[in-house]
Amino acid sequence: MTKIDRSLLEDILETIDAPVVILATDGGILRFNKACERLTGYSAGEVVGRKVWDFLILDEEIGAVRSVFEQTRGDDTPTHFVNYWKTKNGGRRLIEWSNKKVEATKVYQACIIATGKDITEARSQEKALSESKAFLRSIVDASPVAIITTKDTGEILTFSRQAELSFGYDWAEVIGNNVRMLMPAYEQSRHDGFIERYLESGEGHIIGKARPVTALRRDGEEMPVILHVSEFQDDQRIFVAFIEDVTEQRKTERRLAETRDQLQHVGRLGAMGEIASSIAHELNQPLTAAASLVGAVSLTLKKADRETNRETAQLLDDAVDEIRRASEIIRNMREFVRKRKTARSLYDVNKVVEDACKVALIGADADGVCVTTDFSPKAGEMLLDRIQIQQVVTNLVRNAVDAMKETPQRELRISTARQNGYVEVRVEDTGDGISEEIEKHLFQPFVTSKEDGTGIGLSISKSIIDAHQGEIFGANKDSTGCVFAFRLPVSKNDLIPGP
């Protein structure tokens, strides 16, 4: 090399932005360029002659660095290694090194040239990116709503943990497949239509709106879900579907709707029975009077013992028979309703009461009623006619809500308890309470304080509780409002959890 060549090389070495360090074969520093000085804060004068691992290398990396150094020294092929350098003020920089051995010449001893690239910032960004991806994934996987992302072609890109649970697929089975596999046939065509329309017009019927649709599980079961789709543009268009499995919700809704229907049906029957019962009693009195009067006339005629009288008496006896028939009809009507087959089975008392409350309280939130429940686990299971008992609970709860229509304080408390051989269900309100006038005839039919009331509810409730060998009572509380409660005796056939 000429002198000029050497000075040119020197200039290159000192002006290049990459750190370049030249080491002797024992690891001592021969050259430490400007970039190295900027990087570490050491001047070349401070470091020349010192071994790199004595002050620049982290303790934990010394072993690895030395072994790479040995390898470089013993071989002609360049080596690459990433390690930290400690700076003068205690910081550290991550540097990607390329090392190459240079054989000894007449001018130079053998040495190793290491050229580095400071990748500290690049690596921390990369790390942050991968951390934020992991963070995002953990959120997606923790979401109780299934999250699925797809391309605009419908190809599934990601499938969250909840998606796996809801649909019954492992994510590996669905990635890359078309999202149509998650819907029943009749939803597939709708779905295609929606996508097509959206891509063409940019108008989304499905974007940003929650929609009830039917999804298809792996086992072929259809599943009612609420679907919410949003989209974002990356280097391609991505759809994000949020899918909430509402199977349980629908089941509960259906059960409550059924309970409501049954209650209404039985309510009507019960009202009819109660009315029939009252009518039977009221009507039976004049029928008795009429039958007796006609019987009296018949007897009188017979005593006179004349042929024509006897014929007339026969007609009167026939009239008595007809009166009795009228009485029978009412009796039958009453018996029909009374003797309706009651379906007694073992039921969880709390569940029965809870369902009835839900039905009775539809709309109560809107009325500003604050409801608290206190269901004792000791209530257990009892042999009862579920619908009938629910009818009683509904009656009591509706009465309580109605009683609080005009009051500022609207608190409803429903509780169950078990004590002294019976299970008790209580309904307490903070309404106007029971007037003295009503109190005397509380459970009699046609007695009501409501403007549009029939006065049948409590009367039916009493009949039902009587039929269960229980008791029902209502009274004003010491504070505002009143309490209604019924008790059902615990029999040997009931299952009560131990105390």
Partner 1 sequence: MTSSLAPNNASVFLVDDDLAVRRGVAALLAAADYAVVSFESAEAFLLDLPELELDNAAMLVDVCMPGIQGLELQEQLKAQGVALPVIVMTAHGDVAMAVRAMRSGAVDFLEKPFTADEVSSALTRAFSAELPAAEPNESLASDLRTRFEALTPRETEVYGEIVAGATSKEIARALEISPRTVEVHRQNLMTKMEAGSIAELVRMAVALGICD
Residues interacting with partner 1, by CB under 8 A?
280-281, 284-293, 295-300, 302-303, 313, 317, 320, 323-324, 327, 330-331, 334-335, 338-339
Residue 225, C-beta contacts closer than 8 angstroms, at least 6 positions apart = 166, 212, 213, 214, 215, 243, 244, 245, 246
Shortest distance (Å) from residue 441 CB to partner 1: 11
Phi then psi for residue 444, to 5 deg, are: -85, 145
Q: Within 10 A of 274 (CB to CB), how many other CB atoms are there?
A: 25
Q: Within 10 A of 457 (CB to CB), how many other CB atoms are there?
A: 24
Across the strands, what pairs with 427? 414, 484
Q: DSSP 3-state assignment of 367?
A: coil
Shortest distance (Å) from residue 314 CB to partner 1: 9
Rg (the chain; Cα; Å): 46
- CA 328, CA 311: separation in Å to the nearest integer? 26
Give 459's DSSP letter: H
The beta-strand segments (E) located in 123-189 are: 146-151, 156-159
Residue with tokens 């549009």: 452
Q: What counts of helices (H) and strands (E) characterise the chain? A: 15, 17
Phi then psi for residue 349, to 5 deg, are: -55, -45
- CA 244, CA 146: separation in Å to the nearest integer? 6
Shortest distance (Å) from residue 442 CB to partner 1: 16
Residue 51, C-beta contacts closer than 8 angstroms, at least 6 positions apart = 26, 27, 28, 29
Shortest distance (Å) from residue 352 CB to partner 1: 19
Residue 61, C-beta contacts closer than 8 angstroms, at least 6 positions apart = 83, 84
Q: Within 10 A of 150 (CB to CB), how many other CB atoms are there?
A: 23
- Cα separations (Å) of 139 from 142, 146, 147, 159, 232? 5, 11, 10, 13, 18
Give 180's DSSP letter: G
Q: Is 344 exposed, middle or buried (0-12, 13-18, 19+ CB in 10 A)?
A: middle
Q: Give residue 373's region: left, alpha or beta (phi > 0; psi -120 to 50).
A: beta
Across the strands, what pairs with 86? 92
User: Which residues in 169-189 are b (16+ Cβ under 10 Å) and which e?
Assistant: beeeebeeebbbebbeeebbe
